[in-house]
Each structure stands twice: as structure tokens, then as C-alpha cells.
Amino acid sequence: MPNQPGSEKLQILLIDDDEDYLSFLAAVLTSLGHDFDQATDGFGAQQKYKTKQYDLIISDIIMPEMSGIEILKHVKNTHPKTDVILITGYTKEYTFSDIIKLGAADFIEKPFTKDTFEAKINRIQRERALLNELHEKTHNISKRVKELDCLCNINNLFEKEYLSLDQLLKRSIHIIAEAWQYPEHTAVRLIYNSQYYQTANFIKTAWQLKSTITCQGEHIGCLEVYYLKKMPVSHEGPFLKEERNLINVMAQMFGKLTARLNAEKRLWLANKRLEQKVAERTIGLSDALEKQMEMQSELSAVFFSNTDGIITIDTEMRVIRKNNVNMNFLNIDEGHPFKPHHNHLQNECHKILQNTLANKKGVKDYRVEMSCSTDGHAVILLNSALLIDQILKKCGSIMGFNHSQSFWFIQIQRL
């Protein structure tokens, strides 16, 4: 039966002091398509497997000077990945269980047929193929885990706000170096905005992988990975396809980091400008408020110290503000309607204000004569007018005015 499809042919060493059995085994291996060497004693076999790596060693147990048991123990000690099948015509000294416990892959009793021998070889071949596949998958999973760890660690590093950009970049190159297939032979250099960051072992070699770092279309640096010695050829020189993808992803991460830092810087500058403007406006508003308060104080003093009586009303005849000069003649309260009263002066004032509101026109120097307990006779001039917008802007806050309404006033002047 030829070599099994999908399985690599085996490198085999045959050891037997019986040349007839040796020729029989060699013929079977030739028909199966495997490569093999031969030895007739243990010492000759040792010279061969010391200088060449075999997948399988097939040895007779009973041989002069060095037995198959001794060869088994020595091979498992020096070449643990090599499988061993032992053959013997004497079964009383050793059982199948004994041989397997010593590390043998299988045990064949003489005499045996060609089919039996082929079945043993094919089983070993299948098991090694499965083990190699498992090893390769495990290795690939391990690589993917390393790559994911690298990306995760770099991302976590970028989130550490307490680190300066210089500290962040210095730490990142060591994380990157550990993600490669041969980290002990890996050197990394990061060129970032004309600054150089590199591992202590960095030297340029012929085995390099490089990826450009860009930010918003602008070239800002590059990430370089070098092997310090020649490694097996893979997808891109000695580098795996996944390692090409990894370095490209990390270069993109450095580009995105730059974009984020630039955005944060612009935001910081904008906040600073806003804070400055707010501070300037606050100072301006404070000065304006102080001036307004000074003006209000002056206007209030003028209003309340005026020798003439002044009353302000709204369009519904409500009294908004009054000073106390000559107010002893009137019976009015702030916040209440200005109503007629048995007082002659108050009735005259009410009549003038009603007329002013109805005609939207003020009254000037309206004379009212009235008796006075102190002087016996008094003449009073009444004047009414609309408080125009300019006056409202200057005096409204003092007199309690709402700028969305119209207000009127009456002046009471005693001659």
C-alpha cells in the first residue's frame, strides 16, 4: 500500500541483527513509500540518530551488546518526539504493557505478516499527522492569542491618561516585540513625528516588516519590525501573513491615536479661548453692572429727593411708584389702582390721568387751587406725560417698570 494521501512520508531507522528480517522490513517500507536507514546493532544505530532526526525507530529487542530496551530508553531521553516500535520473538520476559510503559509506541511479536507490519506503520503515520495538525492549530491559536494580547495591551496603554505621549510610545514598542513569532530574535523601531523609539537590541537587518503611519492623509511616521537572524521562509520573507496584518493594524492605531490627541488639543485650545472670553465678558459685565448700580443710586436719589410730587402709573391706572413729597394730600398705595377720592386734589389728578390715557397726550401746567390748613390757600400745578423709551431704559429698573408696557406719570408742583 503506498504512502497514505494527505500524510507525509516518514523518516525511519530499522535496527535488527537478523539481516533477513531487516531485508523484509526494508521491502515493506519501500512499498509504502517511506525513507529509511538501516543498522544491525545498537551502537551503529546511535551514530545514525545522533546526526539525523527520525520520525520512527523500529528495533529488535534481543541484540548483542545493546538491547532494544536500552535503545528505547536512550531515544526517549534524547529524542522524545521520535516514536519507537520494538520487535521480539521472545514474549516471556516482556509484556505489551511493560513495553508501552517504557515509552514505546507499539510492540510486535515475531513472526508477523506484511499486513500486520503495514497496519502498525500506517497507524503511527496517522497519529503523527494528527499530532502535527494539532500542534499546528495550537501554534496558530497561540499566535492569535499573542496578537490579540498585543492589540488589547496597546489599546489599554492608549487609554492611560496619566502617561505622557513619550512614555506611551516607549512602552508600546516592547509590547509589539512580544507579539511576533520569534520574540527573542525580534527588534522594533517606531518613527513618530521625527522622533525615534526602539528596543535596546535594535539593529537593521535584511529581514524586516514595515508599515506607514498616517493621520488624516498625512505621513507622520512608520512602524518597523526586524528579525535579528534568518528564520524559515513564510508569507512575506520570514514573516507570517497574520504578522503583516498585525503591523498594519497597529500602524492604523497609532494614526488614530494621533487624530485623537490632535482633537483633544484643539478642544483644549477652544476651551481656553472660551474661558478667556468668558473672563473678559465677566469683567465687562461686572464693570457695567457697577456703573448701572451707581446710576441707579443717583437716579433713585434724584427721584426721592425731588421737591415735586411724582406718581407713575401703568395703562390700567395702577400706581407703580411714588415719592413722598406732597403725598399727604393723596390716598394712594403702590401696586393698587389710582382711584378718585373725596380729596379734591386726588380727584383732579385722577381726571387728568384718565384724560391723558384716553387721548395719549399729556397735560401741562394744569392749575388746582385748594385750601390748606397751614397757609389757608395753595395753588398746585399738575403735569402729565408718557415716559418715553429712553427714559425707561435709564430709569425703568429704579421705578419698577416693565419695558414691554407704556407708563405715564403725573407731576404735582406746589407754587
Looking at CATH, the fold of the domain delimited by 307-414 is given as: Beta-Lactamase (3.30.450)
Give the containing element (helix H, strand E) for 365: strand 363-370
Question: What's the rounded Cα separation, in Å, for the pair 59 and 102?
Answer: 14
Beta bridge partners of 378: 370
84-98, 184-198, 284-298, 401-415, range with greatest mean pLDDT:
184-198
Task: Let me know if domain 11-133 sits in CATH 3.30.200.20.
Answer: no
pLDDT at position 179 over 80? yes
pLDDT at position 302 over 80? no
Q: Specify the domain boundaries for CATH 3.40.50.2300 within the chain.
A: 11-133
pLDDT at position 304 over 90? no
Give the containing element (helix H, strand E) for 89: none
Length of the chain: 415
Q: Specify the domain boundaries for CATH 3.30.450.20 within the chain.
A: 307-414
Q: Which residue has the cell 507579539?
A: 179
- Mind listing the pLDDT tens digit for each residue in 16-71? 998 898 999 999 999 999 999 999 999 999 999 999 999 999 999 988 889 999 99
Quick one: pLDDT at residue 91?
59
Quick one: pLDDT at residue 6?
45
| Residue 409 and residue 364 in contact, taking contact as beta carbons nearer than 8 Å | no
Q: Which of 88-97, 202-211, 248-257, 331-340 has the lowest mean pLDDT?
A: 88-97
pLDDT at position 375 over 60? no
pLDDT at position 390 over 50? no
pLDDT at position 401 over 70? no
- Mind listing the pLDDT tens digit for each residue in 186-230? 999 999 999 999 999 999 999 999 999 999 899 999 999 999 999
- Mind listing the pLDDT tens digit for each residue in 112-130? 999 999 999 999 999 999 9
Q: Which residue has the cell 502535527?
A: 132
Summarize the confidence of residues 152-178 as an average pLDDT: 89
Ramachandran bin of 144, using left for φ above 0, alpha for ψ from -120 to 50, beta for the remaining angles: alpha
- Please state, for a pLDDT cut of 90, what percent of the chain lies above it: 43
pLDDT band for position 282 (50/70/90)?
A: confident
- Between residues 303 and 148, which one has the greater pLDDT? 148
* Residue 335: all three cell numbers together: 401696586
- Please, which residues have CB within 8 angstroms of residue 190's CB and are 6 or more apart in sequence? 169, 172, 173, 176, 196, 197, 198, 221, 222, 223, 224, 254
Quick one: pLDDT at residue 71?
94
HEC per residue, 179-226: CCCCHHHEEEEEEECCEEEECCCCCCCCCEEEEEEEECCEEEEEEEEE
Quick one: pLDDT at residue 124?
93
How buried is 355 (Cβ within 10 angstroms: 0-12 exposed, 13-18 middle, 19+ buried)?
Answer: middle
pLDDT band for position 360 (50/70/90)?
A: confident
Q: Which residue has the cell 546493532?
A: 41
Summarize the confidence of residues 386-397 as an average pLDDT: 54
